[in-house]
Structures are given as structure tokens and as C-alpha cells.
Homo-oligomer: A and B are copies of this chain.
Amino acid sequence: MGLFTEQGFKATTIRGIATAAGVSPGLVQHHFGTKEELRQACDEYVLGYMREQAGLGVTGRNLEKPEFIENVHRTAPPLMKYLGRALVDGSPGAAAMFAELVNVTEEHLAGDENPEADHRARAVVLTAMKLGITVLHEHVSRALGSDVYAAPAALRVGKAQLDLFRPEFLGRELFEQARKGLAKVEGER
């Protein structure tokens, strides 16, 4: 997954993967079959993880538990980077995930707004822009001078997003929650 993330699917070789894993190329083939099947396995792992964590966060009411947040912040970044690369690498699974995210966002938006607004377009643009930071994380990090997925830069990016967007679209209460969360993290540093 690391090599797919850094180099893309086509530029990554099975031999490179095997070397990085400290095994023989034949073993990779034995476990995953073809290179395309290996990509699918990676996709399923990442998308499964994200759906799982999202489920745990929302339905499990874990969003405020510090250990849950901490765990996500430690494990999620490489998977987010993988998703970002997969989105531009023509991965079918990533395309499906994008569509899912749009639908979730659209439902959220449709709740408290005038019915004539183009919620669909807003949801699409919102998720594309949110994922844009992930996809371009390398450039964002360079422009900021430090890794976006490390605490300091992530804080700056989060606050900047809160500043740039109209508060209505997060939902007033969610917006305030996010603001408090960021302030709390900032206080701990």
C-alpha cells in the first residue's frame, strides 16, 4: 500500500513490493494472484477500515472519546493518502467511496436548508474540496512547511477550513463542536 501510495499503481512493481516486504516476488503472486487483484485487496482493506471507523464514530458515539480520536489520528493518515492516490489512479473501489461520501454529505445538507438549493452540487463540491487536501497533501505540506498529517499543520488546516466555509454547511452544532475540538487540541499543545 505504501508503494502504491507513493508511486501509483502502474509505476509500482511486484518485485519492488516483494523486496519492501522482505519476501520473494513469487510469494506476492501466490497470496494475491495478479497485480490487479492485489490492488483490489488493498482497496478493500482501506475502504473497509474507513467504513468501520466511520460506523464506530457515528453510531458508537465515540466521536468525543479521546482514545478513539487519538487512535484514528495515528492510523488513518497512510490510509487517507492511499485513498487520495487511488482516486486519481482509476481504482474502481475509490470511485465507489467518493460516490458514497457525496451521498452522505448530500443527506446531511438536505436536512436544514431551503429546498430550492442545489444540494447535490454543494455536496459534490464539498467532498471534492475536502478530498482535494488529501490528494494534494504533498503540495499542501510543502507549502505549509510541515507534514499535514502531523498535529501542528493539521491544526492550521482544520482552522483554516473552519474560517473559509460558511458555518451553516457543517450544521451550527457540528461547527461549534469542531471549533471546540480544535481549541481543545490546541490547548494541549
Contact A99 B143 (CB under 8 A): yes
Copies of this chain per assembly: 2
**Complex partner residue of A120 from B85, B128, B144, CB under 8 angstroms:** B144
Contact A124 B98 (CB under 8 A): no
Chain B hits for A121, CB < 8 A: 144, 156-157, 159-160
Question: A102 CA to B142 CA in the complex, in Å?
Answer: 11
**Given A11-B10, A128-B133, A136-B131: A98 in contact with B156 (beta carbons within 8 A):** no
Q: Which residues of B are found within 8 Å of A161, using beta-carbon distances?
A: 125
The majority secondary structure among interface residues of chain A is helix
Residues A143 and B8 in contact, CB atoms below 8 Å apart: no
* Chain B nearest Cβ from A148, distance in angstroms: 9
Q: Looking at the assembled complex, report how far the CB atom of A134 sits from the nearest CB atom of chain B, in whole angstroms.
A: 8
User: Are the C-beta atoms of B163 and A98 separated by less than 8 Å?
Assistant: no
Whether B85 pairs with A139 at a CB distance below 8 angstroms is no
Residues of B within 8 A of A163 (CB): 117, 122, 166
Interface residues of A (CB under 8 A from B): 7-8, 10-11, 84-85, 87-89, 95, 98-99, 102, 117-118, 120-122, 124-126, 128-133, 135-136, 139-140, 142-144, 156-157, 159-161, 163-166, 169
Known A124-B144, A125-B140, A163-B166; 8 more pairs at CB < 8 Å = A7-B10, A88-B136, A98-B143, A99-B139, A99-B143, A121-B156, A121-B157, A166-B166
